[in-house]
Amino acid sequence: MPADAGRAWWRTAVVYQVVLRSFADGDGDGVGDVAGLRSRLPHLRDLGVDAVWVNPWYASPMVDAGYDVADYRRLDPRYGSLEDAEALVREAHALGMRVLLDVVPNHTSDQHAWFRAALAGDETARARYLFRPGRGADGAEPPNDWESCFRGPAWTRTTDPATGEPGDWYLHMFAPEQPDLDWSNREVADEMLDVLRFWFDRGVDGFRVDVAHGLVKAPGLPDAAGRDRRTEEHPGWDQDEVHDVWREWRALADSYDPPRVFVAEAWPARRAERLPLYLRPDELHTAFEFEPLHVAFRARPWRDVVDRSLAMAELTGAPCAWVLTNHDVVRQATRYARTQFPEKGTNETERARWPTEVPDLDLGRRRARAAVVLTAALPGVLYVYLGEELGLEEVEDVPAERRSDPIFWRSGGTDPGRDGSRVPLPWSGDAPPFGFSPPTRADGSPAAEPHLPQPAGWAALTAAAQDGDPTSTLSLYRRLLALRREHLAPAGPMRWLPTPSPDVLALAREGTDVQCWVNLGAEPVALPAGARVLVASAQVDGGVLPGDAGAWVQVADR
Ligand code: NOJ
């Protein structure tokens, strides 16, 4: 185990998110896998991460990139075997890194043995899902008015296996291939606890919990009557009874030595009031802080987000788990490459703007670097999404026939969906696949093309091209995370420092003389004298922060 075993490592960790199919391909089939991840663990160690979070790697038809799980105890064969998984955990631990998995408790795949049995008419299996008769003449209308998060009704009608006639409907808050489980059925709760045990017993250090505000639905499944799940109380989400689940999970995690941990993906509509409930001391350890995903690159809104989030951390005692980007949103460099509107944007609005404004990617990358410098200096946990350390942009021109996200298909192509943030990483070389796949497969045949096409321009952004270049984004991340580990992670609370311009944010942490200064404006600003040790984002001499803050980081006496 890593040397700091026993300490509450998860309060200050840097966690690197791995979309397995897009990280590194070990066997040449064009799809990333555990062998590829194992071979690249030294990259993550050198980057300075404390833990790796692997997106769902379970057996899956991959309708929703593995968030449609057919078997929670088996890896998808495209990713590897259970032995590979065990080797990964061992090797990561030997390099001083923890491993978090992704658990998907709200729904299974429609190919899960339970759901197949349910469709075949097995009553015990049916009772684990939410089958209901339809409304209207012959039950031809869905049982209620709920909408799927991926567009369209949240219900799909089945065919009666005995008669071949249209039968009941089943609930799916996401794609029809992702039927929701019925969490009022004790068998469901027991099965998921057993799944957790299965992986904890193999040394896995914790889980990211998918849609943690889901699972339990309001009794009777009443109509939402026009309520927007994102902003209003909705009978499909955030029910009080879900907290019974998290208490059981926490008790299980605490029964291990060292205790295992959870991070919740939770989007309760009344976030400020309801999210703290998930973080009570006997529930989940942390919850993603998603506010930075929606905030424009401007100083005032950033400062407000930080203040609000830290106030919540103060209230709950759980550290903020900062998320600058992930597999569901537009990559940071691209988000920041277009006009920064003062109002809160959403991922949909970002993507809707693609056709109308050419992105300034150099600017976007500089801003993305500044944002990570700032965030890394804050108290709490830092999540780093794969490829952000290379400054990758969203790939906006993935051809339709190569796209796999159900959001794209279910919106009739009006929303491009999330494939553009999931393009395989460029590791080395001048042309695709940029070292993502080996040249040949085990049988000597040439490797398949990467599952999504990589832009030719990524030749300049490969890990190999950036390695050793002190001005590269990769070098910045390495220095930044090393600084963070030494000076900032162990430090105490933060306070804002006065700055010479409203576009400059500066902060200090108790217990260290390292300060963080970031200029979010376009104008250079002179630093005040007197800061002894400085984490500065600057490219010019003399303590001046230009608009392209984040280009480099230093620790220096002044
Ligand atoms: C949240 C995950 O992050 C997303 O990728 C997935 O589509 C949904 N949950 C459904 O599992």
514 neighbors 553 (Cβ within 8 angstroms): no
What does the pLDDT look like over 435-471, one tens digit per residue? Answer: 999 999 999 999 999 999 999 999 999 999 999 898 8
Q: Any idea which of 148-152, 338-342, 501-505, 539-543 has the lowest mean pLDDT? A: 539-543
- Ligand 1 lined by 264 (C-beta under 6 Å): no
pLDDT at position 416, please?
A: 92
3-class secondary structure for 492-506?
CCEEECCCCCCCEEE
- In whole angstroms, what is the distance from residue 326 CA to residue 19 CA? 9
What does the pLDDT look like over 261-308, one tens digit per residue? Answer: 999 999 999 999 999 999 999 999 999 999 999 898 888 999 999 999
Q: Does an H or E element contain 187, and which?
A: helix 186-200
Which candidate, 64, 37, 53, places its Cα nearest to that of 208?
Answer: 53
What does the pLDDT look like over 507-534, one tens digit per residue? Answer: 999 998 888 888 887 777 776 665 545 5
Gap from CA of 139 to ligand 1 centroid (Å): 30
What does the pLDDT look like over 55-66, one tens digit per residue? Answer: 999 999 999 999
Amino acid identity, residue 256? Y
Gap from CA of 510 to ligand 1 centroid (Å): 37
Judge whether residue 90 has pLDDT over 90.
Answer: yes
- In whole angstroms, what is the distance from residue 58 CA to residue 81 CA? 10
pLDDT at position 549, please?
A: 43
- Ligand 1 lined by 328 (C-beta under 6 Å): yes
Judge whether residue 6 has pLDDT over 60.
Answer: no
Cα–Cα distances (Å) from 71 to 52, 67, 176, 330, in that order, read 22, 11, 17, 30
Q: Calculate the CA dihedral of residues 59, 62, 64, 70 and round it to 10 degrees.
A: -30
pLDDT at position 3, please?
A: 45
Q: Whose CA is nearest to atom 4 of ligand 1?
A: 328
Ligand 1 atom at minimal distance to the Cα of residue 64: 7
Judge whether residue 475 has pLDDT over 80.
Answer: yes
pLDDT at position 2, please?
A: 46
**Token pair for residue 342?**
């003062």
pLDDT at position 274, please?
A: 97
What does the pLDDT look like over 113-142, one tens digit per residue? Answer: 999 999 999 999 999 999 999 999 999 999
Gap from CA of 210 to ligand 1 centroid (Å): 7
What does the pLDDT look like over 375-396, one tens digit per residue? Answer: 999 999 999 999 999 999 999 9
Give the count of alpha carbons within 13 A of 323, CB side only: 20
- The count of residues in the chain is 558
Q: Which is higher by pLDDT, 555 or 361?
A: 361
Handedness of CA 495, 498, 500, 503 (dihedral sign): positive
pLDDT at position 63, please?
A: 97
pLDDT at position 181, please?
A: 99
SS3 (DSSP) at 413: coil
424 neighbors 448 (Cβ within 8 angstroms): no
- Ligand 1 lined by 62 (C-beta under 6 Å): no
What does the pLDDT look like over 184-225, one tens digit per residue? Answer: 999 999 999 999 999 999 999 999 999 999 999 999 999 999
Gap from CA of 473 to ligand 1 centroid (Å): 28
- Ligand 1 lined by 67 (C-beta under 6 Å): yes
Which of 60, 211, 418 maximizes ligand 1 atoms within 8 Å of its Cβ, making it the mutation to test the pocket? 211
- In whole angstroms, what is the distance from residue 321 CA to residue 382 CA? 6
**Token pair for residue 461?**
């952004």
- Ligand 1 lined by 210 (C-beta under 6 Å): yes
Ligand 1 atom at minimal distance to the Cα of residue 107: 11
Vertex 341 angle, CA 337 and 344, to 5°: 110
Ligand 1 atom at minimal distance to the Cα of residue 418: 5
Mean model confidence pLDDT for the chain:
91
Gap from CA of 43 to ligand 1 centroid (Å): 27
Gap from CA of 104 to ligand 1 centroid (Å): 9
Q: Whose CA is nearest to atom 5 of ligand 1?
A: 328
**Token pair for residue 409?**
């298909």
Query: What is the percentage of the chain residues whose pLDDT exceeds 90?
Result: 78
* Interhelix angle 186-200/242-254, nearest 10 degrees: 30
Judge whether residue 338 has pLDDT over 70.
Answer: yes
- In whole angstroms, what is the distance from residue 412 CA to residue 396 CA? 17
- Ligand 1 lined by 211 (C-beta under 6 Å): yes
Query: What is the percentage of the chain residues whose pLDDT exceeds 70?
Result: 92
- Ligand 1 lined by 174 (C-beta under 6 Å): yes
Q: Any idea which of 178-192, 224-238, 362-376 has the lowest mean pLDDT? A: 362-376
- Ligand 1 lined by 129 (C-beta under 6 Å): no
Q: Whose CA is nearest to atom 6 of ligand 1?
A: 67
- Ligand 1 lined by 419 (C-beta under 6 Å): no
Gap from CA of 329 to ligand 1 centroid (Å): 11
**Residue 536 pLDDT grade (very low, low, confident, very high; cuts 50, 70, 90):** low
Ligand 1 atom at minimal distance to the Cα of residue 328: 5
**Residue 20 pLDDT grade (very low, low, confident, very high; cuts 50, 70, 90):** very high
532 neighbors 557 (Cβ within 8 angstroms): yes
- Ligand 1 lined by 245 (C-beta under 6 Å): no
Phi-psi region of 164 (alpha: psi -120 to 50; beta: other; left: phi over 0): left
DSSP state, residue 396: T
Ligand 1 atom at minimal distance to the Cα of residue 104: 11
Ligand 1 atom at minimal distance to the Cα of residue 174: 10
Which of 55, 58, 64 maximizes ligand 1 atoms within 8 Å of its Cβ, making it the mutation to test the pocket? 64
**Token pair for residue 554?**
């230093």
Gap from CA of 67 to ligand 1 centroid (Å): 6
Judge whether residue 75 has pLDDT over 70.
Answer: yes
pLDDT at position 556, please?
A: 40
- In whole angstroms, what is the distance from residue 366 CA to residue 337 CA? 9
- In whole angstroms, what is the distance from residue 130 CA to residue 115 CA? 11
- In whole angstroms, what is the distance from residue 48 CA to residue 372 CA? 14
Judge whether residue 347 has pLDDT over 80.
Answer: no
335 neighbors 556 (Cβ within 8 angstroms): no
SS3 (DSSP) at 323: strand
pLDDT at position 515, please?
A: 84
What is the mean pLDDT of the segment spanning 221-234?
95
